[in-house]
Amino acid sequence: MVASERGIKYIIDDGLLIKENEVIAGTSAKKAATKIETVKKALFNNPEESKEIKKAFIKYRPESILILGTSDNMIKKIRENLGLPELTETIYITDVATEEEMAEAKRIRRTQGKHVIPVPTFEIKKDFSGFILDPLQIFKSKGKDSSPYISEKSIIRPTFSYLGNFKISDTVFRQIIEYLAKKTNSIHRINRVRIDKIDGDEGISIYTEVVMVYGYNVIDELKSFKKKCKKEIENQTAMNIQTMDIVAKGIYVQGT
């Protein structure tokens, strides 16, 4: 709302560079394993991470940026690490939120471990593989004669915060792939599906062997099937597919 009122299209928040409702660079600090790592990511202490943001600055050339931080010193360090100029304005949370709103936010963070990221859930789903995501519709009245502020943000709930661990069986992924194969005319059957977990909970790798139906362009059909599988698995399970290899292991000739 603060950015919208000032015509600011770019926001820096917890390791992300956001343009309007799209993440254009960075990795969210909220997926870091420890609080120390979270702080380092949010401050862009890693030269490689700050380099990515600086490249985005060159590409998009933002006229103004809203930097979100928990203190003046944090904002200062972010500016220095990203090579940004001096501030033109500082807005404190007490200027834009009521005591009741701040108390409620603290209570939810403390008791439920929820964090809000200022982009729609679809934008950050891949960045939070294995995390539970909820969309958050915001409707805030700004006065009798003013237009209300309406937006969609995302609530993330890291599973380690209070839900414990959860696992998705490899069978689930295989069944989704087999179901899609039955609806694809060019695929006769699935021979094999292997699921490998990527180190660091960055997602999964899938290897699939299929038997194709004779008469179809193998390359085009495999590309199309791969795209459908990735989309459906990510939508159904919220898991990020880092790599997916589909190999044609045979040709089925109808009528034989």
Digit-by-digit pLDDT tens for the chain (256 residues) are 888 889 999 999 888 898 887 888 988 776 666 667 778 888 999 898 899 999 999 999 999 999 999 899 999 999 999 999 999 999 999 998 889 988 887 887 666 666 666 554 444 444 544 444 454 545 555 555 666 554 545 555 544 344 445 567 888 899 999 999 999 999 999 999 998 877 655 578 999 999 999 999 999 999 999 999 988 887 777 677 888 999 999 999 987 6
**Residue range of the domain that includes 35:** 2-162
Residues 97 and 156: their CA atoms lie apart, in Å, by 21
Whether residues 111 and 202 share a domain: the answer is no
pLDDT at 200: 52
Place of tokens 């990795």: 27
Pick from 137, 162, 187: which residue ends a domain?
162
Pick from 133, 162, 191: which residue ends a domain?
162
The count of domains in the chain is: 2
pLDDT at 94: 93
Residues 228 and 241: their CA atoms lie apart, in Å, by 12
Whether residues 137 and 37 share a domain: the answer is yes
Whether residues 198 and 113 share a domain: the answer is no
- Is residue 193 within 8 A of residue 228, CB to CB? The reply is no
Whether residues 6 and 114 share a domain: the answer is yes
Whether residues 175 and 150 share a domain: the answer is no
Tens digit of each residue's pLDDT (9 = 90 or more) over 127-160: 544 444 454 545 555 555 666 554 545 555 544 3
pLDDT at 121: 43
Residues 169 and 242: their CA atoms lie apart, in Å, by 17
Pick from 117, 143, 162: which residue ends a domain?
162
Whether residues 200 and 146 share a domain: the answer is no
- Number of other residues whose CB lies within 10 A of the CB of residue 71: 8
pLDDT at 129: 46
Whether residues 180 and 132 share a domain: the answer is no
Give the sign of the dihedral formed by CA 221, CA 227, CA 230, CA 235: negative
CA-based max dimension of the chain: 76
Give the sign of the dihedral formed by CA 119, CA 125, CA 127, CA 128: positive
Residues 75 and 87: their CA atoms lie apart, in Å, by 9
pLDDT at 132: 45
pLDDT at 197: 79
Element (H, E) at 241: strand 241-252
Residues 216 and 248: their CA atoms lie apart, in Å, by 12
Beta bridge partner(s), residue 155: 116, 134
